[in-house]
Structure 1
Amino acid sequence: MVFQWYGQCYRQFYRWTLGLVMLGALVQVHAQTASNASYLIGAGDELRISVYGQPDLTAETQVSADGMVMVPLLGNLPIAGKTSTAAAALIANRYEQDNVLKNAQVNLLVTKYRSQVVAILGKVNNPGKLVLEGPTSLTQALAWAGGIAANGSERLVLMRMAPDGRQERTEYDLQQLLNQAADPSPTVWLKDGDTLYVPNAGRFYLNGEVHTPGMYSLDRPLNVRQALSAGGGPTARASESSVKVFRQRADGSVQELRAKPDDRVLDGDVLVIKESLF
């Protein structure tokens, strides 16, 4: 019972700590999107265009489906795929080329972001569609969705459309994404049309000479040693060198394996710790 209570407390503390990390990431994404100038304008975005010293040329407008925007005295101009800075420079150059204004100073502000959207589905606290207002990482999007639900896995699935039209599926370990100091892997940035899916947490079972046998949640990658710790560890009678794993094959048959401490535990595995003969 003591080991079980300790395990529950550890998992609650782990979730609480993860929540703080997610909250920090959420604060970061708001600060980042408020000042980021690399957002690419797209169809549906609403804009405010103003020209210094020319209040009559101020316009509130929306990017059309073909990427055009109506600019006072210039008509429709193509700005989809450009940053706010690049679009403002384009408009200023056209004012000068058409002899409308000299030394035009144009400011362009995206007032409503609508063109770039990712879907966040599965076992998150607040699933939905996130409108990208700037560079947004996978962990920041997860923070926006309220983090992983209690029955969710830390094995994250990102589905993205490839240039040839095929859908690519990539899996990520949340702990590795959060632990950037120890893992040199680059940040995973989301793109328009991405789908982030959080599946159900898997399950594994402990039996034999372990303090707390039973079923346990496989909500993050575990090896055999870590799985045994979740059950309070082996008893004094256990033979730690004789751990068996019973794993179901795709055809329904069960495979018996001798487990090593660093072997990966898979969903549905049954770990049996045998009693020492001495």
Structure 2
Amino acid sequence: MMRCYPIGRFCFSLTTALLLLCSALVWAETSTAPRSYVIGSGDEIRITVFGQQELTAEVQVSAAGTVQVPLLGTLAIAGKNAADAAQMIAGRYEAGNFLKNAQVNLLVTKYRSQVVAILGRVNSPGRLVLEGPTSLTQALAWAGGIAPSGSERLILTRPLANGRQERTEYDLQQMLNYDAGQQPTVWLRDGDTIYVPNAGRFYINGEVHSPGMYPLDRPLNIRQALSAGGGPTARASDSKVKVFRQAADGSVQELTAKPNDQVMDGDVLVVRESLF
């Protein structure tokens, strides 16, 4: 069964929803996006100086974050964007009395320094080289979207300066819902890892229109789970929804469910028939 992702009043497949969202990010989120690409070790750059063709250089940023610049020698540019690095080089040419009113242009020709990993239940897992501001949903679209067995619960792991890692979970439904309007865009950084876990499963039996097994790919309560099964039939009892849940010791517990109770992986929901 194809999952449907709401955008405004409409509902789209995952691929279409991601493409629409990524297109909207071009204009809707520019105010919150990182301003420009930050140069790092391994990137290849081309330096040109207006009117000074002999000063043109194509170099790779070293592991120490430096490059060799004609007449200036070794300069550290890692951590700067292209415009700031070009301005710094121009200033060095002028300060060293090599040039007056130096006009320097710096272009990143190969992006290699900033990489994120996309793992788990996506259609094309792998490593994505960031070539500019990239959001979590854009990276997910690059990976071909979530596989049929994947969850809509996304896990982002990010390395911190103190050597530890920050782990954050996101709900894809909320990220794709334009009407929510309060979900900020998640911009990726070098070293991030996106993981899409397996979707859980739950079962619906009894007085529902479409009993069977359903993916638990996002948080659901009992009312939402019953809606996935087409809702209760006319013979169903609203007060007699039972949940059979396996405990840690392997035993099966029988619980009386309330509409807002959360569904757990492996739950069996049984809608009883009304006696009246």
TM-score (norm 1): 0.88
- Aligned to 1:100, which of 60, 85, 98? 98
The answer as to 2:57 corresponding to 1:59 is yes
The answer as to 2:252 corresponding to 1:264 is no
**1:87 — aligned with what?**
85
| Aligned-partner SS, 1:263 | coil
Q: Distance in 2 between matches of 1:232 and 1:196?
A: 33
The one-letter amino acid paired with 2:168 is T
**2:156 — aligned with what?**
158
**1:4 — aligned with what?**
none
**1:202 — aligned with what?**
200
Deviations 1:44-86 (A, max 9, x none): 0000111111111111111000000111111110000001111
Change (3 A) 1:163 1:13: closer
**2:8 — aligned with what?**
none
Q: CA deviation at 1:26?
A: 4.9
**Alpha carbons 1:244, 1:258 under 8 Å: kept:** yes
The 5-angstrom pairing of residues 1-278 of structure 1 reads 8=1, 11=2, 14=5, 17-26=13-22, 38-278=36-276
Q: Distance in 2 between matches of 1:37 and 1:13?
A: 33
| Aligned-partner SS, 1:21 | helix
Change (3 A) 1:250 1:89: farther
Change (3 A) 1:181 1:87: farther
Q: CA deviation at 1:12?
A: 5.5
The one-letter amino acid paired with 1:242 is K
| Aligned-partner SS, 1:56 | helix
Q: Distance in 1 between matches of 2:82 and 2:39?
A: 7
Q: CA deviation at 1:23?
A: 2.1
RMSD of aligned alpha carbons: 2.3
Structure 2, unaligned runs of 5 or more: 6-10
Q: How many residue pairs were aligned?
A: 268
Q: CA deviation at 1:213?
A: 2.0
Deviations 1:179-203 (A, max 9, x none): 2441413211111111101111110
Change (3 A) 1:257 1:183: farther
Q: CA deviation at 1:153?
A: 1.0
Q: Distance in 1 between matches of 2:145 and 2:222?
A: 27
Change (3 A) 1:226 1:30: same
Identical-pair percentage: 71
**Alpha carbons 1:26, 1:140 under 8 Å: kept:** yes
**Alpha carbons 2:18, 2:176 under 8 Å: kept:** no
Change (3 A) 1:249 1:124: same
Q: Distance in 2 between matches of 1:73 and 1:147?
A: 49
Q: Distance in 1 between matches of 2:35 and 2:103?
A: 17
Q: Distance in 1 between matches of 2:15 and 2:190?
A: 26
Q: Distance in 2 between matches of 1:263 and 1:273?
A: 15
**Alpha carbons 1:19, 1:147 under 8 Å: kept:** yes
Q: CA deviation at 1:169?
A: 2.0
Q: CA deviation at 1:235?
A: 1.8
Q: CA deviation at 1:253?
A: 3.4
Q: CA deviation at 1:277?
A: 1.8
Mean Cα deviation higher: 214-223 or 44-53: 214-223
| Aligned-partner SS, 2:14 | helix
Larger helix share, 1 or 2: 1
Q: CA deviation at 1:27?
A: 5.1
| Aligned-partner SS, 2:250 | coil
Change (3 A) 1:29 1:176: closer
The one-letter amino acid paired with 1:120 is I
Change (3 A) 1:37 1:159: closer
